[in-house]
Structure 1
Amino acid sequence: MCRSLDYRDKRLRVSVHIETEGRSLVIDSGPDFRQQMLRAGVTHLDALLFTHEHKDHTAGLDDIRAFNFRQQQDMPLYAEPRVLRQLQQEFAYIFAEHKYPGIPRVILNAIEHDDAPFDVLGLRVQPLRALHHRLPVLGFRIGGFCYLTDANFLSPETLEQLRGAEVIVLNALRREQHISHFTLAQAIEILEEVKPARAYLTHISHQLGRHAEVEQELPSWIRLAYDGLQVQV
């Protein structure tokens, strides 16, 4: 239980809402998806992208049904074929031949190649390949904004794709070595190599320390992300 009185230390599962060129996208719908959308006042959602299939990034998929009802249209989902198959297994009732009334309605879009941009409703999205221990996962670059979470390895090719970004969001779980996440020091090393104008660290555990104290150790252009943070790019 977190006893900090700093609201920035009260974190739900990691996700991001992106508004650009008249489009509203969310990357990952974890177990807190409904709460996060209500708190942020998101009333319209055009598409949902997934980084990988772990439950802390997919468990809230059922709650897109409110957007189906409000918008009267199916929700496009974008993910690698492996991730789409996992969603079809874990949310089998969504894909049943005889559907129960009121269940979520989705359109599956497979991200077939990790080295080529793909189109999301007219937006150019560049996938960013990473490894989460041995599991291939994706980050995404949209314009000058890059988002990478649940990773502990980036190839030289992915590092090149990050260069020139204005904002990079990167995971930094804790200070100690971890089998599938970057440490604070590793994340800072990567950011110092690719040199974005600004960077935010996400997927933070309580083991990292309190928000206000950790930020005092960071360069001025690297900050800790927190729930409700809004960034202009």
Structure 2
Amino acid sequence: MTLTFLGTSTSVGIPVIGCNCASCRSSDPKNQRMRASVHLQTDTHSILVDSGPDLRQQALRHDLIKVDAVLYTHCHLDHITGFDELRAFCWGREEPLPMYSSKACLDELARIFSWAFSPSNTHKGYIKPKARPVGGPFFLGNTKVTPLPVMHASVETIGFRFDQDGQPSIAYIPDAKEIPEPTFALLEGLDHFIIDALRPAPHPTHLSLPEAVEISNRIQPKQTWLTHISHETDYRAEEAKLPENIRFAYDTLQLD
């Protein structure tokens, strides 16, 4: 099982259009961040989590030519507007492409991309989605996928936990402000915990860096990776203050 960080930024990416801050002017490749998304390759499935506006570039960079399922955390635009790029993963498929998320998110996808979900979408070469609402754990091949409900502004949002016998367990929560108590119970015994950590200062809808560290300390995973990073974060300066088991993720990072 291999997880690849396709993107690790917040909604505007880094560098930010029109910004001359140190992060946006940096030549450090780890400061070149596309919108947040990950890809999980198991022994049976190629799984994409979210399809943000940078999907085409991300797929080309990683030679991603096959996707068996798409998991959506929520319907904010920085997580869904690469939707049309998914047609490239439908050209060689006979069956529709399964898309897993909350019913609210899938309903919003069907509203925004109504042409794709319409019964009249029979044209060869178009994306053919298959909505699969999730209300609890499900399996993709040998991998157990557990939805992780979290609070993120007023939008219903879920992260995902991945478990497979003999493989490290992984949880991915890119957008959150608060983790409800029932979800904490689903985060026990993790090897890798990937969590939103927008910036050092508090934010009304995202976890700050100190808040993410506090959650990691409570869960006690073997390793925590911080994602959904803002250009307001000097990741090198901030990472130097963190324990070894909490690191900043970056685009192209792979967990094998």
> Cα offset for 1:121?
4.4
Aligned length: 228
What residue in structure 1 maps to residue 186 of structure 2? 161
Query: What residue ranges of structure 1 are gaps of 5+ in the alignment?
Result: none
Find the aligned partners of 1:135 and 1:58 in 2 and give their Cα distance. Answer: 14
AA partner of residue 193 (structure 2): I
The residue number in structure 1 matching 2:130 is: 107
Match of 1:230 in 2: 254
Q: Distance in 2 between matches of 1:15 and 1:227?
A: 9
Which residue number corresponds to residue 100 of structure 2?
Answer: 78
Q: Which amino acid aligns with 1:216?
A: A
CA distance, structure 2, for counterparts of residue 46 and residue 98 of structure 1: 23
Whether 1:125 aligns to 2:149 is: no
1:21 corresponds to 2:43? yes
| Pairwise CA distance, 1:229 | 0.6
The Cα shift of 1:123 comes to: 2.9
Query: In the TM superposition, what is the alpha-carbon distance from 1:101 to its structure 2 partner?
Result: 4.4
Q: How far apart are residue 222 of structure 1 and its match?
A: 0.7
CA offset digits 1:34-70 (Å, max 9, x no partner): 1111111112111000001111001111111111113
Distance 2:80 2:120 in 1: 23
Q: CA deviation at 1:208?
A: 1.5
1:72/1:167 CA distance change after superposition, 3 Å: same
Q: Structure 2 length as normaliser, TM-score? A: 0.85
Q: Specify the SS of the correspondent of 1:189.
A: helix
Deviates more, 1:129-138 or 1:68-77: 68-77
| C-alpha displacement of 1:135 | 2.5
Query: What is the alpha-carbon root mean square deviation over aligned residues?
Result: 1.4
Question: Cα distance, 1:124 vs. partner?
Answer: 1.5
Distance 1:20 1:97 in 2: 32
Matched, 1:195 2:215: no
Question: Counting helix residues as a fraction of each chain, which structure ranks higher?
Answer: 1
Matched, 1:214 2:253: no
Alignment partners' CA distance in 2, 1:142 and 1:186 = 23
SS of aligned partner of 1:207: coil
- Structure 1 CA distance, aligned partners of 2:195 and 2:239? 15
Q: Supply the distance in 2 between the matched residues of 1:218 and 1:37 (Cα, whole angstroms).
A: 31
Shift of 1:72: 4.3
SS at match of 1:88: helix
Distance 1:92 1:53 in 2: 14
Equivalent in 174, 177, 184 of residue 202 of structure 2 = 177
Deviation at 1:129, TM superposition (A): 0.9
Find the aligned partners of 1:223 and 1:21 in 2 and give their Cα distance.
27
> Are the counterparts in 2 of residues 118 and 125 from structure 1 also a CA contact under 8 Å?
yes
Contact kept? 2:104, 2:156, Cα under 8 Å: no
1:65 aligns with 2:87: yes
Percent identical residues: 36
| 2:176 corresponds to | 151
Whether 2:60 is the aligned partner of 1:35: answer: no
After superposing the two structures, state which structure 1 stretch, 215-224 or 101-110, moved more: 101-110
Judge conservation of contact 1:199–1:223 (CA < 8 Å) in 2.
Answer: yes
Deviation (angstroms), 1:118? 1.8
Q: Which amino acid aligns with 1:10?
A: Q
More divergent stretch after superposition (76-85 vs 92-101)? 92-101
Q: Is the 8 A contact 2:105 2:156 kept in 1?
A: no
Task: State the alpha-carbon separation in 1 of the partners of residues 125 and 76 from structure 2.
Answer: 25
Q: Distance in 2 between matches of 1:37 and 1:191?
A: 30
